[in-house]
Amino acid sequence: MKRREFLKILAGGAAVAAIPVLANNNDTKQNGIRISVRKSDRGYHPKAFACRVFINGKETFDCFTADTGKNEAYCYKKDNEGRPVLDASRKRIQEETIKGEIKIIMPNNFYL
């Protein structure tokens, strides 16, 4: 598949568009989609906030980057009661990488 081609995915009966990303190693193609809300990330898209991310079939709401090619979701760490865990300086929320089956559902109006 060429870099600029769209991959049609059927999710809940509605077709949504997704873009495959390139892997870092020697510019080879990677099967998967990467989407991020962080501007410094290579998977950034301004409408990424509207995407829904599922990890092992369970929807998560604290994820800032998801990659279906690597089967990884990068999320904010939470304690057992669902509160954010702060780092030692108590100024930033700790982050964690969750591995598993990652599914990204994008809205119908998700265009580049």
pTM greater than 0.75: no
Greater confidence, 26 or 86?
86
Mean pLDDT calculated for residue range 87-112: 86
**In this prediction, what percent of the chain has a pLDDT beyond 70?**
70
pLDDT for 52: 92
CA distance 105 to 38: 18
- Each residue of 10-50: pLDDT tens digit? 233 333 334 444 444 433 345 688 999 999 999 998 889 98
The residue extents of the domains of the chain are 7-105
Report the 10 Å Cβ neighbour count for 48: 20
Mean residue pLDDT of the chain comes to 76
Q: Could you tell me the CA-to-CA distances from 49 to 1, 23, 26 in Å, in that order? A: 26, 23, 30
